[in-house]
Amino acid sequence: MLSKEKIERINALARKKKREGLTPEEEIEQKNLRKEYLADFRRMMEMTLERVTVYDPLGNDVTPDAVKIKKKFMQ
């Protein structure tokens, strides 16, 4: 998970960009921090979805096969 300091820096750069603009170095920093944030978000979302089981209204397991296969390898 991204550190609290990095998230605060992302927000600070966003506020500064809106108020007065960023220097070229800050734009690069912002881009790199956003990339890191999105990679972390995607990883966490994938981990969450890999643990989900989907049931239809009749109670049948209708979890997609790709997720079932990943679950097998995780055990």
Mean pLDDT per 10-residue section of the chain, whose length is 75 residues: 94 97 97 96 91 91 82 69
What ranges do the domains of the chain cover? Answer: 4-74
Provide the pLDDT for residue 60: 92
Provide the pLDDT for residue 75: 63
Provide the pLDDT for residue 12: 98
Q: How many CA atoms lie within 13 A of 5 on its CB side?
A: 0
Those residues with Cβ within 8 angstroms of residue 55's Cβ, 6 or more apart along the chain or in another chain: 61, 62
CATH superfamily of 4-74: Helix hairpin bin (1.10.287.540)
Q: What is the DSSP letter of 61?
A: B
Under 8 Å between Cβ of 67 and 49: yes
Those residues with Cβ within 8 angstroms of residue 70's Cβ, 6 or more apart along the chain or in another chain: 50
